[in-house]
């Protein structure tokens, strides 16, 4: 994966680095193939040692914060552990939505089946809450805002799938497979209008609000959509409203 580090930067100082992580880049090294590119491998040659504070799935794009020293790491970890960091995601989901807003409160347990998926488990799962809000409606697709109170593995993906609203191109949790957008049947009729392609999960970490780890100043950083997701949404506005 050829990346221009300057294109990833959203905000930084001597204590904190915030990037727009591209879909396909691992947050942490892969346990089976350590040679695969990951965030620290890409950034540390330019910024020195970095500490991972929170994670995004490999196929999720968007705002990711990293600490540049140990005190900043401790302060940021505390914010995330206590739920003080506010994360806002945008997800393009399959299926009609009848409500404007909804809160999903379902306990989750990771690695709960043979596909190593996170599952809803009312006995052994940990509490997980996600607040949902409709942003835009298209033909059989909806752009949602998802604000998780907790940070469980695959939380948004599972909570949406359990509402019958899998994220587009999320093959693990029931989204339309592959996502060559042309010809995919997302309703009664297939889409055939030369739509752009999207070959990764349509989930984007849109913004992150934290307190600066040293100054305690409130900081909100937003990330633009990746080009391919932006093109799909633009196409939907024109052809599938």
Q: Each residue of 165-180: pLDDT tens digit?
A: 999 989 899 865 434 4
**pLDDT at residue 34, as a whole number:** 82
**Residues β-bridged to residue 208:** 87, 221
pLDDT of residue 183: 42
Average pLDDT of span 141-152: 96
Q: Where are the beta strands (DSSP E) in 106-140?
A: 108-109, 119-120, 129-137
Q: What is the mean pLDDT of residues 11-31?
A: 95
- What domains, with CATH codes, occur in the chain? 5-239 (3.30.2350.10)
Q: What does the alpha-carbon distance between residue 14 and residue 48 come to, in Å, rounded to a whole number? A: 11
Mean pLDDT of the chain: 90
Nearest residue to 94 (alpha-carbon basis) of 159, 156, 168, 145: 168
With a cut of 70, say whether residue 13 has pLDDT above it. Answer: yes
Q: What is the pLDDT of residue 149?
A: 96
Q: What is the average pLDDT across 8-16? A: 97
Average pLDDT over residues 40-61: 96
Question: Percentage of the chain with pLDDT > 70?
Answer: 90
- Each residue's pLDDT tens digit, 207-240: 999 999 999 999 999 999 999 999 999 999 988 7
Average pLDDT over residues 150-159: 96
pLDDT score of 164 more than 90 = yes
- pTM of the prediction? 0.91
Q: Tell me how far apart the alpha carbons of residues 20 and 37 are, in angstroms, rounded to a whole number.
A: 15
**Residue 201: band (very low, low, confident or very high) from pLDDT cuts 50, 70, 90:** very high
pLDDT at 186 over 70: no
- Other Cβ atoms closer than 10 A to 224: 13
Q: Kindly tell me the burial class for residue 65, based on how many C-beta atoms sit within 10 Å of its own C-beta (0-12, 13-18, 19 or more).
A: buried
Question: According to the model, what pLDDT value does residue 241 have?
Answer: 63
Banded pLDDT at 125 (limits 50, 70, 90): very high
By annotation, the residues acting in catalysis are: 57
Dist. CA 217–CA 29, nearest whole Å: 31
Question: What's the pLDDT score for residue 33?
Answer: 86
């Amino acid at each position: 994966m050829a990346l221009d580090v300057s294109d990833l930067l959203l905000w930084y100082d001597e204590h904190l680095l915030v990037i727009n992580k591209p879909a396909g880049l691992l947050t942490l090294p892969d346990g089976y193939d350590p040679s695969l590119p990951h965030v620290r491998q890409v950034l540390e040659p330019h910024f020195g040692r970095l500490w991972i504070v929170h994670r995004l799935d490999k196929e999720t794009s968007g705002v990711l914060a990293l600490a540049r020293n140990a005190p900043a790491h401790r302060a940021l970890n505390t914010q995330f552990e206590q739920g003080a960091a506010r994360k806002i995601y945008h997800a393009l989901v399959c299926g009609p939505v009848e409500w404007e807003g909804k809160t999903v409160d379902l306990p989750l347990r990771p690695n709960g089946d043979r596909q190593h998926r996170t599952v809803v488990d009312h006995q052994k799962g940990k509490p997980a809450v996600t607040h949902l809000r409709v942003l835009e409606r298209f033909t059989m697709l909806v752009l949602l805002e998802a604000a998780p109170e907790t940070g469980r593995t695959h939380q948004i993906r599972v909570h949406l799938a359990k509402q019958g609203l899998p994220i587009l191109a999320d093959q693990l949790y029931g989204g339309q497979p592959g996502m060559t957008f042309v010809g995919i049947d997302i309703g009664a009729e297939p889409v055939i209008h030369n739509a752009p392609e999207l070959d990764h999960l349509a989930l984007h970490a849109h913004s992150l609000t934290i307190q600066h780890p040293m100054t305690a100043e409130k900081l909100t950083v937003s990330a633009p959509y990746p080009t391919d997701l932006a093109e799909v949404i633009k196409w939907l506005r024109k052809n599938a409203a």
